[in-house]
Each structure stands twice: as structure tokens, then as C-alpha cells.
């Protein structure tokens, strides 16, 4: 049954927000901030049936494929580059080695006088640094905001250059995890301010530095350079795994579900018990006394599982370490499903360090804690609830998108080390009480991203668990609408979905 059918047909104007590109995956009813978005408020009818529209190709398990892209013609040698910030020594050295000149600008005001400026965010020497992914994202946010202020209407473009901060192949590691959030952050900045930004990830090889001028000249919004080959991201249907993997969940599992008091945490916990035979669960929420947690634990016990409600602020590493330490005689956790997360909507220029750090800590910082604190455990599954916002960019949710792209990168990072990992960059779920309220579902449906019913969402989860990939994008797309509504940067991501590969996309739901 469509669980949304009871929602009023039309939303009050005061609750309605803007409809924007495909990144408009607003998952939270935060109408006040949503009105900050380009396009202004609009009264919109509720998308009756949007969650169940039959016959569309969107019941899809997609993934991001980085396809080789014909190299653009490089501008002639002897080029003059403009670099923002002093952190780009390796980049400046590589460009100078090509015979080019490099002017380093300390501030955006002087840099923005030039049409193309490179902003390097390269790995911190000696590791992630104390500030980690949050510090890197906050630093980048400040640069993006200062760039937008300085750029005005000049048309200048800031090319954010990272090295190893995104996986450009299924089996690729993401060695610079600290800068992984920049990909979701800048994708969202692009969705809000098309033409102001571009993203380029390099691998540090000599061939790639050599190919950089042509890549920058191409105007593609997102690229990776791997051994001199330009690769561009395209969403494609995830083919079934050659050898289906086990789900990693079963009667012998002890599963930690974070964010278990939330809408999807509860759904997944029930599904693990009913469909995967899981018999032991630790249901973590901010407070063990949360009525949603205690009632879920009671329900699961009635289904024959041993389920305990546990209070743990996931941003508190020591508390999480204690939670993961089994009581004498109790089994250790063998699988993790990380659903905790939060949103705090606002356009990029209004995001403060405090707001950004809060969203990153709940979703990304806690995922890193989980990764680090479970190193000694023999895990069979490590499932991260990420968001399509990180892949498509999300106007009004740049920090949330940043946290999501970190989760996707973390899954690659773990897989490259032989550890179990699956990051699911979910489209919105049509599930009452979750992050996607009716307004957000309407907005995203209008932009071509349809709500997932719980049944479809859980079927996609099962398909993803056996797909053998570190990161997938389970999302129902209305590709025709998506193409019509997409802003240019996101439309590039969708090129391989035209015409919609309906058969290939259908999941076994
Ligand atoms: N629902 C969707 O459409 C959708 C789409 C894409 C991705 N996702 C992802 O799926 C996950 C679950 O979504 P949902 O709809 O179930 O969201 P939800 O109902 O808001 O649940 C999220 C849960 O995370 C908990 N949480 C937040 N910060 C925490 C912290 N510091 N420590 C411990 N717990 C914390 C929240 O606790 P409180 O209740 O105490 O605040 C809440 O119970 C999220 O990570 C979200 O990003 C959801």
C-alpha cells in the first residue's frame, strides 16, 4: 500500500520550496531554509502515486562508472596558471615542470579576476591530520564561499583539484579519505551555482599531471585522471555480481544498527530478522530510553530475536568503543548497519562551520569511528546508509552530500583493504517519519527522482548486498523527467542512462 496516500493533496504555500535539478533530493521538511534556494517558493500539489508509479525504469540499482573520455585538445604549452591557496606545492611543481607559469593567489578576490583558477586540496603530508574529513570539508567550504563572493558575475570557474579523494573504478582505493567529502560538497555547490566550479581528481602520476591542462580545458564538470586517461562519472545500471556474494547476515550474526530509532533503521532491523534470520541485534539510538527504540526491541523479541536498545551518541568515540566491547559471555558484533545521520538544510552561502561540522560528525565522523573501532572484530558486513545527494549533489544540503560522499569513499577504502563494506547512496524513501517528508518527495519526484516504497527499498538492499560492489546508488529515476529537469553538471552524469535501460535497471523487487 502506498503509505503516503493519506497526505494532503496540496501543501500549504508556506511549506513549499523550490524545485531544482536532479540533485534536489531534499530529504527533510525544512521549508524555511528550503526557501533560500534558487527558484523561490512554489505551491505544489502532493505527488500522489509518485512512490509507486508503475513501468518507470527507476527501480534501479545503479552505480557510478568512470568512463574513459576522449581527451580535449590541450592549450599550447607555456600556459599561465592561477592557483588559489598555498597548499598546492605538488600541483604548482607539476605545472612548472610542463614549462608553464604558476601564479599563487592567497585570496579569492585576486584569483577571481582570472577565468579559470585551480584550488588544490591535496593529501595532508603524513596522513589525514587531526582535523580529518571534517576539517578538510570546513576548509573547502570557506574557499567555496569566498570564491562565490569574489567571483560575482565574472563567470570565473574554480577547479577543485584532489588527489585520491574519489574512487574512479570499482576496485579502487580512496587513499585521501580526508578530502573525500569535497566531492559531495562541490557537486552540491555545482548544483546551486552551475559553471562556478569543476572537480578534478588526479592520481599523482606524471602522465596525469601532463594530461591536466587538457582536462581543465575540456569544461567537463567532473573528471578523474588515471595514468593520463581522462575518466568521467556516469550513472549506469549495476550489473549482477558474477559470483553472488552472501549477504553477510544470518542466524549467527550479531548486528549493530545505528540510528535504529529512525525510520530506516527500524525497517532494516525488522527485515534482518524476518528475511535474513538474524537473531541478535544491538539497536543504537541517542538514548536507550527512546520509546521508538524500546518498542522496536520489544517487537523484535516477539519475533524471536534477542534485541537490546542501547544509548550512544555516535559522535562520541569513547561511548561507541564501550558499546562495541561485549559484556563478558556476550558475543561480539559481527555486522554493522550504519543508519545514523542528520540534516540541517541551507544553501551553501549560509552554511556555517558549526552546522557543517554537526552534519558531518553524525554521519561521516561516526562512520569513521565505526571503521576504526571494528578493526579487531571479525565482521561479515559493514553497511553504510549514504545518500544520492553525495553522487548527484544536493542544493541546500552540501554538507549532507559531503558526508555521503565520505561514506561512499570509506566503503571503497575498506574494500581495498579486504574488509567488508557496502555504501548505499539511497534516493529518497517514501517512508513516513524518515528524512524524506512529503515536500521533499514531491520536489525530488518533480526533478525525476521517485520515492522508494519500503518493499522496493528493502529489495534493493538485498540486491545490493549480493552485488559485489563497494558502493551502489539505489534510486528510482524517472529518466525523462530527470533529463528535462537536470542542471547541466548533473545531466552529464545521466548521459549513459539515455535511453533508459529499463530492463537492465529493474531489480528483483
Ligand atoms: N529516508 C530517506 O529517504 C533517506 C534517503 C537517503 C539516505 N538516507 C539515509 O538513511 C539513514 C536513515 O535515514 P532515516 O530516514 O531513517 O532518518 P531518521 O529517521 O532521521 O533517522 C536517523 C537516526 O539517526 C539518529 N542520529 C542522528 N545523529 C545521531 C548521533 N549523533 N548519535 C546517534 N544517533 C544519531 C537519529 O536520532 P534522533 O532520532 O535522536 O535524532 C535518528 O534516529 C540516514 O543516514 C540518511 O542519511 C535516508
pLDDT digits (tens, 9 = 90+) for 280-330: 999 999 999 999 999 999 999 999 999 999 999 999 999 999 999 998 999
Q: What is the CA(339)–ligand 1 centre distance, in A?
A: 6
- What is d(CA 283, CA 273) in angstroms, rounded to the nearest whole number? 13
Of residues 228 and 245, the one with the higher pLDDT is 228
Protein residue whose Cα sits closest to atom 27 of ligand 1: 341
Protein residue whose Cα sits closest to atom 47 of ligand 1: 341
Helix (H) or strand (E) holding 144: helix 132-151
What is the CATH code for 60-64+239-505? 3.40.50.720
> Would you place residue 506 in the very low, low, confident or very high pLDDT band (cuts 50, 70, 90)?
very low
C-alpha cell at 304: 524471536
**Given the DSSP bridges, would you call strands 449-450 and 471-477 parallel, antiparallel or unpaired?**
antiparallel
Nearest Cα residue to 505 out of 149, 26, 63: 63
Q: Look at residue 459 and give its three-state secondary structure.
A: helix
DSSP conformation class of 60 = E
CB within 6 Å of ligand 1 — which residues?
27, 259, 261-265, 285-286, 313-315, 339-342, 362-363, 385, 387, 426, 428-429, 433-436
What's the whole-number mean pLDDT along residues 230-259?
88
Closest ligand 1 atom, CA of 426? 6
The crossing angle, in degrees rounded to 10, of helices 181-192 and 398-416 is 150
Residue that has been written with the C-alpha cell 544553501 in this structure: 347
Q: What is the CA(341)–ligand 1 centre distance, in A?
A: 4
91-105, 124-138, 153-167, 401-415, range with the lowest pLDDT: 124-138
What's the whole-number mean pLDDT along residues 39-64?
46
Q: What is the CA(181)–ligand 1 centre distance, in A?
A: 18
* Paired strand residues for 452: 429
What's the whole-number mean pLDDT along residues 8-34?
31
Protein residue whose Cα sits closest to atom 9 of ligand 1: 385
C-alpha cell at 63: 552505480
Nearest Cα residue to 185 out of 399, 351, 490, 361: 399
pLDDT at 126: 72
C-alpha cell at 230: 581522462
Closest ligand 1 atom, CA of 362? 31
What's the whole-number mean pLDDT along residues 330-349?
96
Helix (H) or strand (E) holding 234: strand 229-237
Burial class (CB in 10 A: 0-12, 13-18, 19+), 484: exposed
Contact 29, 441 (CB under 8 A): no
- What is d(CA 306, CA 365) in angstroms, rounded to the nearest whole number? 28
pLDDT at 407: 98
66: left (phi over 0), alpha (psi -120 to 50) or beta: beta
> Would you place residue 32 in the very low, low, confident or very high pLDDT band (cuts 50, 70, 90)?
very low
Q: What is the CA(120)–ligand 1 centre distance, in A?
A: 32
Q: What is the CA(259)–ligand 1 centre distance, in A?
A: 5
pLDDT at 75: 83
pLDDT at 243: 60
201 pLDDT above the threshold of 70 = yes
- What is d(CA 362, CA 352) in angstroms, rounded to the nearest whole number? 16
Q: What is the CA(262)–ligand 1 centre distance, in A?
A: 5
- What is d(CA 99, CA 475) in angstroms, rounded to the nearest whole number? 46
What's the whole-number mean pLDDT along residues 486-504?
65
60-64+239-505 matches 66-236 in fold? yes
CATH class for the domain made up of 66-236: alpha beta
360 pLDDT above the threshold of 50 = yes
Q: Please enumerate in sequence order all residues whose Cβ is within 8 A of that of 153, keeping only pairs 6 or more positions apart, or say none.
A: none
Closest ligand 1 atom, CA of 342? 27
**Given the DSSP bridges, would you call strands 471-477 and 60-68 parallel, antiparallel or unpaired?**
antiparallel
Q: How far apart are the first and last CA of the chain?
A: 15
Compute how many other C-beta atoms are within 10 angstroms of the C-beta atom of residue 262.
Answer: 23
Q: What is the CA(63)–ligand 1 centre distance, in A?
A: 23
C-alpha cell at 143: 574557499
Residue that has been written with the C-alpha cell 528510482 in this structure: 476
CA distances from 250 to 158, 227, 244 (A): 48, 42, 16
Of residues 210 and 43, the one with the higher pLDDT is 210
> Would you place residue 341 in the very low, low, confident or very high pLDDT band (cuts 50, 70, 90)?
very high
pLDDT at 146: 97
Contact 457, 30 (CB under 8 A): no
215 pLDDT above the threshold of 80 = yes
Percent of the chain clearing pLDDT 90 (strictly above): 70
> Would you place residue 33 in the very low, low, confident or very high pLDDT band (cuts 50, 70, 90)?
very low
Closest ligand 1 atom, CA of 452? 3
Protein residue whose Cα sits closest to atom 23 of ligand 1: 259
What's the whole-number mean pLDDT along residues 393-422?
97
- What is d(CA 483, CA 102) in angstroms, rounded to the nearest whole number? 39
pLDDT digits (tens, 9 = 90+) for 368-403: 999 999 999 999 999 999 999 999 999 999 999 999
Q: What is the CA(260)–ligand 1 centre distance, in A?
A: 8
pLDDT digits (tens, 9 = 90+) for 95-116: 999 999 999 999 999 999 999 9
CA 267, 26, 191, 145 torsion-angle sign? negative
Of residues 238 and 355, the one with the higher pLDDT is 355
Percent of the chain clearing pLDDT 70 (strictly above): 84
Give whichever of 4-18, 47-61, 296-310, 427-441 has the largest mean pLDDT: 296-310
- What is d(CA 56, CA 49) in angstroms, rounded to the nearest whole number? 12
pLDDT at 488: 67
505 pLDDT above the threshold of 70 = no
CA 10 to chain centre: 30
Closest ligand 1 atom, CA of 267? 16
What's the whole-number mean pLDDT along residues 245-258?
94
129 pLDDT above the threshold of 70 = no
Query: For 369-394, b where at least 16 C-beta lie within 10 A, e where not — what string?
Result: bbbebbeebebbbbbbbbbbbbbbbb
22 pLDDT above the threshold of 60 = no
E strand segments, 399-444: 422-426
What's the whole-number mean pLDDT along residues 49-57?
37
Protein residue whose Cα sits closest to atom 18 of ligand 1: 262
Q: What is the CA(309)–ligand 1 centre distance, in A?
A: 16
Closest ligand 1 atom, CA of 261? 43
Q: Ligand 1 pocket test: which of 24, 282, 340, 431 has the largest number of ligand atoms within 8 Å of its C-beta? A: 340
- What is d(CA 232, CA 495) in angstroms, rounded to the nearest whole number? 11
Per-domain boundaries in the chain: 60-64+239-505, 66-236
Closest ligand 1 atom, CA of 440? 3
pLDDT at 153: 82
30 pLDDT above the threshold of 70 = no
Q: What is the CA(212)–ligand 1 centre distance, in A?
A: 39
* Paired strand residues for 346: 397
Q: What is the CA(448)–ligand 1 centre distance, in A?
A: 23
20 pLDDT above the threshold of 80 = no
Q: Look at residue 187 and give its three-state secondary structure.
A: helix
Q: How much is the pTM?
A: 0.89
1-10, 174-183, 193-202, range with the lowest pLDDT: 1-10
Protein residue whose Cα sits closest to atom 4 of ligand 1: 428
Amino acid at each position: 500500500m502506498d503509505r503516503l496516500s493519506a497526505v494532503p493533496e496540496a501543501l500549504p504555500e508556506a511549506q513549499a520550496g523550490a524545485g531544482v535539478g536532479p540533485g534536489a533530493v531534499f530529504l527533510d521538511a525544512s521549508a524555511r531554509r528550503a526557501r533560500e534556494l534558487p527558484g523561490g517558493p512554489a505551491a505544489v500539489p502532493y505527488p500522489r502515486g509518485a512512490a509507486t508509479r508503475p513501468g518507470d525504469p527507476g527501480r534501479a540499482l545503479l552505480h557510478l562508472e568512470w568512463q574513459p573520455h576522449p581527451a580535449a585538445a590541450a592549450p599550447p604549452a607555456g600556459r599561465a596558471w592561477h592557483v588559489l591557496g598555498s597548499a598546492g606545492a605538488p600541483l604548482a611543481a607539476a605545472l612548472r615542470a610542463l614549462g608553464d607559469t604558476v601564479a599563487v593567489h592567497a585570496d579569492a578576490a585576486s584569483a577571481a579576476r582570472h577565468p579559470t583558477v585551480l584550488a588544490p586540496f591535496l593529501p595532508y603530508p603524513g596522513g589525514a591530520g587531526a582535523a580529518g574529513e571534517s576539517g578538510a570539508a570546513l576548509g573547502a567550504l570557506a574557499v567555496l564561499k569566498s570564491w562565490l563572493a569574489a567571483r560575482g558575475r565574472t563567470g570565473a570557474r574554480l577547479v577543485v583539484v584532489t588527489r585520491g579523494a574519489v574512487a574512479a573504478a570499482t576496485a579502487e582505493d580512496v587513499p585521501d579519505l580526508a578530502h573525500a567529502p569535497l566531492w559531495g560538497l562541490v557537486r552540491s555547490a555545482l548544483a546551486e551555482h552551475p559553471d562556478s566550479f569543476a572537480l578534478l581528481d588526479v592520481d599523482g602520476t606524471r602522465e596525469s599531471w601532463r594530461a591536466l591542462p587538457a582536462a581543465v580545458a575540456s569544461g567537463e564538470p567532473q573528471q578523474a585522471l588515471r595514468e593520463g586517461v581522462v575518466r568521467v562519472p556516469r550513472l549506469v545500471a549495476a550489473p549482477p555480481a558474477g559470483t553472488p556474494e552472501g549477504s553477510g547476515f544470518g542466524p549467527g550474526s550479531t548486528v549493530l544498527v545505528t540510528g535504529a530509532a529512525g525510520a530506516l533503521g527500524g525497517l532494516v532491523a525488522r527485515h534482518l530478522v524476518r528475511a535474513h534470520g538474524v537473531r541478535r541485534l544491538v539497536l543504537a539510538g541517542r538514548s536507550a530510553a527512546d520509546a521508538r527504540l524500546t518498542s522496536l526491541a520489544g517487537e523484535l523479541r516477539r519475533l524471536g530475536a534477542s534485541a537490546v536498545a542501547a544509548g550512544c551518541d555516535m559522535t562520541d568515540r569513547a561511548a561507541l568503543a564501550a558499546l562495541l566491547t561485549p559484556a563478558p559471555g556476550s558475543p561480539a558484533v559481527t555486522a554493522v548497519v550504519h543508519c545514523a545521520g542528520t540534516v540541517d538544510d541551507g544553501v551553501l552561502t549560509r552554511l556555517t562551520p558549526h552546522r557543517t561540522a554537526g552534519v558531518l560528525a553524525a554521519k561521516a565522523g561516526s562512520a569513521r569511528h565505526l571503521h576504526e573501532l571494528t578493526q579487531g572484530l571479525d565482521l561479515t558486513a559493514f553497511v553504510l546508509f549514504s545518500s544520492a545527494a553525495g553522487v548527484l549533489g544536493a542544493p541546500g544540503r552540501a554538507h549532507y552530500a559531503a558526508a555521503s560522499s565520505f561514506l561512499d569513499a570509506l566503503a571503497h577504502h575498506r574494500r581495498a583493504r579486504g574488509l567488508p563494506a557496502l555504501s548505499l547512496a539511497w534516493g529518497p524513501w517514501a517512508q513516513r517519519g524518515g528524512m524524506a517528508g512529503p515536500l521533499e518527495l514531491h520536489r525530488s519526484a518533480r526533478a525525476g527522482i521517485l520515492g522508494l516504497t519500503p518493499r522496493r527499498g528493502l529489495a534493493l538492499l538485498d540486491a545490493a548486498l549480493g552485488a559485489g560492489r563497494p558502493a551502489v546508488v539505489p534510486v528510482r529515476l524517472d529518466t525523462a523527467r530527470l533529463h528535462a529537469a537536470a542542471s547541466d553538471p548533473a545531466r552529464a552524469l545521466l548521459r549513459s542512462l539515455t535511453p533508459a535501460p529499463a530492463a537492465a535497471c529493474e531489480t528483483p523487487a
